[in-house]
Homo-oligomer: A and B are copies of this chain.
Amino acid sequence: MKELKVELGERSYPIYVGDGLLNDIATTLAKHKIGTKSPLLLVSDTNIAKLYLEQVKSLLEAGGYRVATAVVAAGEKSKSLAVMEDIITVALEAGLDRNSAVIALGGGVVGDLAGFVAASYMRGVRFVQIPTTILAHDSSVGGKVAVNHKLAKNVIGAFHQPEFVLYDIATLKSLPEREVRAGLSELVKEGFILDRGFVEYCDANAERLLALDSEALEHALYIGCGVKAKVVSEDEKEGGLRAILNLGHTIGHALEAVAGYGELLHGEAIAIGMVGAARLSEKLGNPGSIAVETERILRKFGLPVRIPAHMDTDAIMSAMMHDKKFLEGTMVFIIPTEIGKVEINKTVSIESVREVVERLKRED
């Protein structure tokens, strides 16, 4: 078992990564001073609930906790104010009070949704994350929680740090292959941002990671979460530095929005977005090898590196304008300047972006 501390002063919290950690969930809660007097709310989705909900609930009840459960439909559509309201109905009916905690059992959708419930219920109760996907390593570090609006993703939310994150890699073994690939996309992204050595590790160990080898996964999640934790510690509220975590996300989010949340998995959209950012880097005068290398590694993980040709360029550009990162009329891009290093760039022209998008649609 590895333990990683996310340093945020009073709001610091640990991430536990290891095989079989779920079995200790009740003692871990107790260790974090979450008592048994007030009920807990366990939030999950239809896919994960089938596999683990009863198990986690029983483990908690065996530890003396009263547990209310809310199971939402799997998928991005559950990240809505309407679903949030339904979950709060469950919380109120179960008598959750200010000393209660909300536990997210699932991937990024469940974490974001349950996290925003925890941030808002009675103006904030404690929050625990049990991520069950590789992708969720990303959303489980940093306290960004949110739901979607029909016009834009993640646009209604808060910063709400968990008490702890419990990453049981045993739960990852049931992931569909496509989700494994998409999750590894965001994990290798942490390397592209700040850690060339980690990119090299992922490059060298792609097969082990794709085969969900326990040792490789534990190491990669520990390092990947560590990169993210380092950035978040230095910039909790996304004043500046934290924006680098959005490598690939400006184009990626736009693709997801145009695809209607589903055609592309988040990690797939981000993979395409990372290639886009590397292409923009070349336009800004950096070596073309960055884009070539980025693409080669992402292809090794079986990830898409081109925009589906049927997607409308105008729609993609318009979705980008609604992005939170589009500040005071300026496009803000995270641009790789070498493998393992990025800069925040505000000089990218709308025309260059359109050209890159067009090329990524045309090429094979």
Contacts and interface: CB of A to CB of B under 8 A. Distances in A.
Interface of A: 37-38, 81-82, 84-85, 88-89, 92-93, 95, 97-99, 119-124, 144, 146, 149-152, 155-159, 237-238, 321-322, 324, 326-329
Contacts of A324: 97-98, 122
Contacts of A155: 88, 92, 121-122
Contact of A37 (B84, B119, B326, B328): B328
Contacts of A97: 324, 326-328
Nearest to A99: B328
Nearest to A85: B81
- The majority secondary structure among interface residues of chain A is mixed
Nearest to A122: B324
Copies of this polypeptide in the complex: 2
B157 A123 contact: yes
A358 B258 CA distance: 59
A326 B98 CA distance: 9
Given A157-B120, A327-B97, A92 B152 contact: yes
A146 B146 CA distance: 16
Nearest to A144: B123
Given A88-B149, A97-B326, A151-B92, A120 B156 contact: yes
Contacts of A152: 92
A111 to B, nearest CB: 15
A343 to B, nearest CB: 20
